[in-house]
Amino acid sequence: MPTEKRIGFVSTRFAGTDGVSLESCKWASVLEENGYSCYWFAGELDRDPERSHLVAQAHFQHEDNQWINERIFGSSLRHPAVTREIHRLRSLLKRELHHFVRRFDIQLLIAENVLTIPMHVPLGLALTETVAETQIPTISHNHDFHWERLRYSVNAVNDYLRMAFPPNLPNLRHVVINSEARELLAHRAGISAVVVPNVLDFENPPEPDNRRTRCFRESIGLKPHERMILQPTRIVQRKGIEHAVELLHALGDPANKLVVSHPAGDEGMEYAEWLMDFAAEHGVDLRLVPAPVAGPWTSLSRCSRYSLWDVYPHADFITYPSLCEGFGNAFLEAIYFRKPMLINRYTTFVRDIEPLGFDLAVMDGFLNRHTVALVRELLSSRDRREQMVETNYSVARRHFSYTTFRRQMNGLLTELLGDGEVPLLSPLPPKSQGTASCTETADAAGYRMQVSAV
């Protein structure tokens, strides 16, 4: 690459295993393989401190932002004191964003869901103004929108939502992760977007650390004869975890243990408390991972003894009965680790995924006898499992590999940064997915054009 390009990622949080944190790491990994340098702005970060700009007030759970949210959602009346606090925090965050841009000489911004979901209205306003004032080329990576969430439907900030969630600026391009989002964005805001689905490095299968994966299984108290039925999601209501409880209840085998890998708390604790009671009432052994699980592209910390890539290998079956998803990272992860899976037919799955020909145990809002019987067969028949997982890996490699990301991003980077941009290429030799890092870089001479079929 003729000159180094510095990319700044902005969100409320880049830490842990939520979809935004995981997908941003995948983007950064591919970009850095091609000579870009990536930097991070957020209220919580588990990235390289030398490339990070941490601002506590940028976190959606910061007390100042929570005070605002309690007064702007569920009511259409906004008190002048709330408006003053929004603008006080907006001004503070805008100063920090300008400092971030200057500190790292940022030449391209990537806004990760911060201009779509109004979990942090002041940050969205601050970033919109920063993009307008600096004219920095910007990509808004939109995972979901406020009109898709019931809790934002009654609010006192419609003026701000029209301005910044999402904004329409000449130096900003929008990326969405499914076709329905592209259509609704055009219909509601008159904004065109490129669809870049969630992806994984299917050209390079995972290489798990067998010792660490065994240790993880032992850490949650599973005995050798017991099955780990893995629900690899956060504990929030739209993940439909009660359906996984119902499945284990219907299977009726005490060797099946339901393990939820991700934490609760992003949307309160009420659902988690209800879920524990619901599992107990149905005689299902529900186990929550006691410590936070780190993303596979970030360094482990004292708080995170295990990576998400340590969790999947010893799972016997994956449950993914989500009621709605922007796309579905856990869906791709289960296929990447060649695991049989139950999935609920949420809208994006029906429109963008199901027609591609995956082989899955499927439910349509409720469990029926046929689905339970298929899951029972998958748990007992190695041949049927092998048929399912190999078919799914082949389909995902064609449609959701890093090739998809490179192809779409090449067009966006050329449009925003100019024709002199070197296209994103596939690395040689293949790297190990299990050891990739958010901050890895490599010599651009060691790349070849991606020629595999898409």
- pLDDT value of position 45: 94
- pLDDT value of position 154: 96
Residues 169 and 305 in one domain: no
Question: Can you give the pTM of this predicted structure?
Answer: 0.83
Residues 256 and 284 in one domain: yes
Of 435, 200, 197, 451, give the one whose Cα is nearest residue 338: 200
Could you please report the per-residue DSSP string of 127-195?
HHHHHHHH---EEEEES--GGG-GGGSSBS-HHHHHHHSS---TTEEEEESSHHHHHHHHHHH---EEE
Q: Determine contact, residues 256/229, Cβ cutoff 8 Å.
A: yes
Residue 45 identity: L
Strand partners, 9: 40, 110
φ, ψ (nearest 5 deg) of residue 319: -110, 135
What is the C-alpha to C-alpha distance for residues 151 and 126, in angstroms, rounded to an integer? 23
Residues 173 and 219 in one domain: no
- pLDDT value of position 439: 40
Residues 128 and 231 in one domain: no
Output the tens digit of pLDDT for each of the chain's 454 residues. 345 789 999 999 998 778 899 899 999 999 998 889 999 999 999 899 999 999 999 999 999 999 999 999 999 999 999 999 999 999 999 999 999 999 999 999 999 999 999 999 999 999 999 999 999 999 999 998 999 888 999 999 999 999 999 999 999 999 999 999 999 999 999 999 999 999 999 999 988 777 777 788 888 888 889 999 999 988 889 899 999 999 999 999 999 999 998 767 666 688 889 999 999 999 999 988 766 676 676 655 544 567 788 889 989 999 999 998 889 889 999 999 999 999 999 999 999 999 999 999 999 999 999 999 999 999 999 999 999 999 999 999 999 999 888 988 998 999 998 876 667 877 655 444 443 344 433 333 333 223 223 2
Tokens 């842990």: give the residue: 16
- pLDDT value of position 438: 46
- pLDDT value of position 216: 80
- pLDDT value of position 433: 43
Residues 321 and 217 in one domain: yes
Residues 231 and 105 in one domain: no
- pLDDT value of position 226: 93
Residues 126 and 246 in one domain: no
Q: The domain containing residue 189 runs over which residues?
A: 6-195
Tokens 């050798």: give the residue: 224
Q: Which residues of 235-254 are buried (b: 16+ CB within 10 A; e: fewer)?
A: bbebbbbbbbbbbbbbbeee
- pLDDT value of position 441: 33
In a domain? residue 163: yes
Residues 189 and 214 in one domain: no
Residues 226 and 167 in one domain: no
Strand partners, 341: 318
- pLDDT value of position 265: 66
User: At 247, which CATH number?
Assistant: 3.40.50.2000
Q: Which residues of 36-59 are buried (b: 16+ CB within 10 A; e: fewer)?
A: bbbbbbbbbbbbeeebbbbbebbb
Strand partners, 252: none
In a domain? residue 104: yes
In a domain? residue 428: no
Chain centre distance of CA 175: 14
- pLDDT value of position 304: 56
Domain boundary among 164, 195, 226: 195
Q: Could you check whether the bond before residue 254 is cis, i.e. omega within 30 degrees of 0?
A: no
In a domain? residue 451: no
In a domain? residue 414: no
In a domain? residue 205: no
Domain boundary among 195, 226, 255: 195
In a domain? residue 84: yes
Taking CA atoms, 194 is separated from 182, 326, 411, in Å, by: 7, 14, 10
Domain boundary among 142, 169, 195: 195
What is the C-alpha to C-alpha distance for residues 80 and 374, in angstroms, rounded to an integer? 58
In a domain? residue 364: yes
Of 225, 223, 248, 243, give the one whose Cα is nearest residue 233: 243
What is the C-alpha to C-alpha distance for residues 411 and 204, in angstroms, rounded to an integer? 24
Residues 179 and 34 in one domain: yes
For 26, the enclosing helix (H) or strand (E) is: helix 19-33
Strand partners, 426: 448
- pLDDT value of position 440: 36
Residues 143 and 264 in one domain: no
What is the C-alpha to C-alpha distance for residues 338 and 179, in angstroms, rounded to an integer? 26
What is the C-alpha to C-alpha distance for residues 416 and 411, in angstroms, rounded to an integer? 9
Q: Could you check whether the bond before residue 166 is cis, i.e. omega within 30 degrees of 0?
A: yes
CB proximity list for 141: less than 8 A, separation 6 or greater: 23, 24, 27, 110, 111, 112, 113, 175, 196
Number of domains observed in the structure of the chain: 2
Residues 303 and 343 in one domain: yes
